[in-house]
């Protein structure tokens, strides 16, 4: 049975904006993205919404629904009560372009700063051999749909614009960890993780893991192991001695 739901949707652009009230028809089985589409079709034809797959796989429809960062196409209307006012806002960490659409360019810049997979030079394609456990680890990280919800929610950049320069964010620190733990990658990524990509800014709050729609254990399986590797190296007496000698 359909009903009329009360929404507050953020409307505006880079110069400013505010929440606007709407009453919209809701049908059984719908998700928040369906309602945004109905709103576009019936009351707000110029409202900007980014989406693509409507199946939780393209990572385009990230927004903050009742203050919680999530995919609009995976946010079931049945999880809200019929008399509840539902707020829909653009993700907060990135600059607004218009309405619910933000400029997520930051993430593509950070992606480009991570050096690519570097296999041994004498290993030809087809000669790669890996243990299943190493394949499984990479596969968990590769479930990422680049929705940037983890990047959006991490307090290091969410509350501190100035940290966007030195901090790659959980998604790209996870990529560095994936490559660092890859048995065929020969590049040393530990020092760069700490010095160039801001691993030390992460204080393991795990908000990134909590919002990940792919349920990737970003903190436990990528960030903490990466921190452990960096710490082991820092306190390894041989590494310490080597640094002393070569820095002289
Ligand atoms: Fe989204 Fe998860 Fe990928 Fe982060 S790691 S961008 S939350 S899918
Ligand atoms: Fe941020 Fe995740 Fe670390 S939310 S502080 S990157 S554990
Ligand atoms: Fe593709 Fe929501 S529209 S993830």
In this structure, the chain runs to a length of 248
Pocket of ligand 1 (CB under 6 A): 144-150, 171, 211-214, 216, 218
Contact indicator for 4, 19 with CB cutoff of 8 Å = no
User: Which pTM value belongs to this model?
Assistant: 0.92
- Each residue's pLDDT tens digit, 18-70: 999 999 999 999 999 999 999 999 999 999 999 999 999 999 999 999 999 99
213 CA: nearest ligand 3 atom: 4
- Cβ burial 3-36 (10 Å sphere, 16+ → b, else e): eebebbbbbeeeeeeeebebebebeeebbbbbbb
59 Cβ below 6 A of ligand 3: yes
| CA–CA distance, 228 with 241 (Å, rounded to integer) | 19
What percent of the chain is predicted at pLDDT more than 90? 90
169 CA: nearest ligand 2 atom: 6
Residue 149 tokens, joined = 């919800």
54 CA: nearest ligand 3 atom: 3
- Each residue's pLDDT tens digit, 228-237: 999 877 665 6
- The DSSP bridge pattern shows strands 16-26 and 68-71 to be unpaired
Place of tokens 């990572």: 59
């Amino acid at each position: 049975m359909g009903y009329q739901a009360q929404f507050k949707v953020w409307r505006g652009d880079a110069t400013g904006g505010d929440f606007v009230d709407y009453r919209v028809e809701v049908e059984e089985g719908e998700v928040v993205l369906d309602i945004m589409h109905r709103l576009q079709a019936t009351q707000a034809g110029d409202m900007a919404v980014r989406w693509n797959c409507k199946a939780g796989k393209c990572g385009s429809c990230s927004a903050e629904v009742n203050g919680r960062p999530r995919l609009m196409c995976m946010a079931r209307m049945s999880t809200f009560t019929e008399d509840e006012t539902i707020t829909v806002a653009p993700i907060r960490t990135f600059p607004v372009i218009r309405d619910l659409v933000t400029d997520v360019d930051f993430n593509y810049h950070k992606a480009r700063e991570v050096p690519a997979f570097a296999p041994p030079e004498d290993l030809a394609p087809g000669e790669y051999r890996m243990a299943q456990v190493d394949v499984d680890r990479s596969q968990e990280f590769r479930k990422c749909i680049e929705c940037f919800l983890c990047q959006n929610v991490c307090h290091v950049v969410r509350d501190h614009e100035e940290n966007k320069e030195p901090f790659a964010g959980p998604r790209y620190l996870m990529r560095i960890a994936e490559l660092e733990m890859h048995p065929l990658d020969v590049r040393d990524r530990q020092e760069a993780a700490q010095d160039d990509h801001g691993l030390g800014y992460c204080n393991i709050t795990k908000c990134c893991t909590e919002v990940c729609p792919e349920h990737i254990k970003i903190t436990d399986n990528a960030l903490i192991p990466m921190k452990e590797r960096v710490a082991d190296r820092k306190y390894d007496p041989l590494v310490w001695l080597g640094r002393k000698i070569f820095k002289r």
